[in-house]
Amino acid sequence: MRKSAMLLGTNIEHAKSLNRRVVLEAVRRSGSMTRADLARLTGLTAQAVSNISLELVEAGLVLEGARRRGQRGQPATEISLNPEGGFAVGLSLGHQALSGVLVNLAGTVLATESHDVAKRVLPLDRLTDEMETLVQELLARAGLARGQLWGVGCGLPGLVRDGVLSVETSSTAERLHYPLAETLGRRLDLPVFAENDARAAAIGERLYGIGRQAQHFFYIHFGFGIGGGPIIAGEQYRGGSGGAGEIGHMIVKPGGRPCNCGNRGCLEQYVSLYAAAEAISGADRSPEDVPVRELAQRMERKDPLLLGWIRDAAPYLRLAIHNIEIMFDPETVVLGGSLPETVRNALIAETEPLLPAVYPDSRPRLPRLVRAEAQDMPALGAAALPISAMLQPSRDLLWKGRGAGGQALNLVQTVLGAPLGGQAGSL
């Protein structure tokens, strides 16, 4: 008989952690607010907001600033996010490159670095060597000590579950399961979070991009394949086994090209960096040997092979977006990833107009399809993993045992009840 899930209660400290994060998220989204504004926005009492804001000031997460005048009584003090209240590193393993960013709490990029890597970085210990080196270089560029980081996030192609990266071996019937988050976390002596690159980029959009305007959106990520990340009610949706959003294996042409997942006609066989590279690689090169910059160069000179791929890919992308809208009803769909901006823009232009919406919004605030705000969103999204783990006001905080780490490392973690005390893995 299947064991049922255990329902666990809450206690006052879990509720306090949630309320602190709710207040902090409201400040982050709004820029600066008075305590009275926060009380109205969050539904908390004025006394609760006053107590929480004092705790956040003490932890260095918010700043008390100018006084708002023009109203009766004493002028109210505004509080705002302290950008230097926390720092994180994001690492993104893309096609032939490992890139990294170091950001502050506001998402401002303080340092960037990129290393060229072989098309397959094996053994995997070498990948963690490269990642460790990149983190050290980013810290040196930003002039920060390792202890100032909240953690490191890693955006990785393929299957990532609980911080474990699964990769194919020489035998397609076997997969190697590598505890990347645990291994890198032990080397750096820092919390490390690992996530599929598409879902990491979606979290980046939630914090720094379209998430400022939309609570429900779907991020489509061009890596070497193509993946997706659904954000529902402001939170990442992972699904029952952590595989939600794997649109690369959505069948868009029954009986079409064979895919390594065992099916035929999957989206990424027609719409992906791999598919674009395959269209221009010729007989003497593998698609894996085609650098991303070549796509941009060919787009600039209007290469007929690349333009042909765009024409052929657009109907499949249009169909995929239609299916995404039916399943998730997002406010908008965001297109981003490693595809050069000029190629991405041409693909969007060819894909529009989209198929008719089944449930059209009578007062849409956003276009149905938008471009990602930042080209380096995969790395920014990876950096958002440890920050999101600390800041996101998830209802999971109300359940005992969910996200409980080890001993709290500092005042920030004590105040927010964050799961960073000794746990490495995925969100």
Specify the CATH number for the domain of residue 305. 3.30.420.40
Answer with the residue of higher pLDDT: 388 or 327.
327
Residue 48 located in a structural domain: yes
Of 296, 257, 252, the residue nearest 273 (C-alpha): 296
Residue range 18-65, pLDDT digits in tens: 888 888 888 887 888 899 999 998 888 999 989 999 989 988 899 987
Residue 402 located in a structural domain: no
> In terms of domains, do 279 and 363 share one?
yes
- Mean per-residue pLDDT over the chain, rounded: 83
How far apart CA 194 and CA 361 sit, in angstroms, is 36
> In terms of domains, do 101 and 222 share one?
no
How far apart CA 372 and CA 351 sit, in angstroms, is 16
Q: At what angle do helices 46-58 and 35-42 cross, to 10 degrees?
A: 120
Q: Which of 34, 57, 81 lies at the terminal end of a domain, its last residue?
A: 81
> In terms of domains, do 176 and 321 share one?
no
> In terms of domains, do 281 and 330 share one?
yes
Specify the CATH number for the domain of residue 61. 1.10.10.10
Residue 18 located in a structural domain: yes
- For 119-145, b/e burial (b = at least 16 CB within 10 A) is eebeeeeebbebbbebbeebbeebebe
Of 284, 313, 280, 310, the residue nearest 295 (C-alpha): 280
What per-residue confidence (pLDDT) applies to 367?
A: 93
> In terms of domains, do 188 and 297 share one?
no
> In terms of domains, do 388 and 368 share one?
no
* Mean pLDDT of the region 129-134: 94
What per-residue confidence (pLDDT) applies to 24?
A: 87
Return phi, psi of residue 369, to 5°: -130, 125
What per-residue confidence (pLDDT) applies to 330?
A: 95
Residue 93 has pLDDT above 80, yes or no: yes
In this prediction, residue 374 has a pLDDT band, given cuts at 50, 70 and 90, of low
> In terms of domains, do 135 and 271 share one?
no
Residue 342 located in a structural domain: yes
Residue range 164-189, pLDDT digits in tens: 887 765 555 566 788 889 999 999 99
> In terms of domains, do 347 and 274 share one?
yes
Q: Which of 20, 46, 81 lies at the terminal end of a domain, its last residue?
A: 81
The 8 Å CB, 24+ separation contacts for 108-115 are 108/83, 109/376, 109/380, 110/141, 110/142, 110/144, 111/138, 111/139, 111/141, 111/142, 112/138, 112/141, 112/376, 112/379, 113/137, 113/138, 113/141
Please give the model's pTM, rounded to 2 decimal places. Answer: 0.80
- Residue 330 Cα distances to 133, 231, 281, 366, 377, angstroms: 39, 8, 36, 10, 20
* Mean pLDDT of the region 120-132: 79
The 8 Å CB, 24+ separation contacts for 310-316 are 310/343, 310/346, 310/347, 310/350, 311/350, 312/270, 313/270, 313/271, 313/275, 313/276, 313/347, 313/350, 314/347, 314/350, 314/351, 316/252, 316/253, 316/267, 316/270, 316/271
What's the domain count of the chain? 3
How far apart CA 347 and CA 310 sit, in angstroms, is 6
* Mean pLDDT of the region 150-170: 81
> Left, alpha or beta for 14 (phi > 0: left; psi -120 to 50: alpha)?
alpha
CB 155 within 8 A of CB 196: yes
Give me the domain span that covers residue 129. 86-201+379-392
Residue 54 located in a structural domain: yes
Residue 421 located in a structural domain: no
Residue 409 located in a structural domain: no
Answer with the residue of higher pLDDT: 427 or 274.
274
214 forms bridges with which residues in the sheet? none
Residue 180 located in a structural domain: yes
> In terms of domains, do 290 and 308 share one?
yes
Q: Which of 61, 81, 101 lies at the terminal end of a domain, its last residue?
A: 81
Query: Among 209-218, 347-356, 373-382, which range has the highest average pLDDT?
Result: 347-356
> In terms of domains, do 51 and 100 share one?
no
> In terms of domains, do 360 and 237 share one?
yes
> In terms of domains, do 295 and 342 share one?
yes
Share of residues in the chain with pLDDT > 90 (%): 42
DSSP string, 202-253: HHHHHHHSGGGT-SSEEEEEESSSEEEEEEETTEE---SSS-TT-GGG-BSS
Of 103, 188, 61, 113, the residue nearest 382 (C-alpha): 103
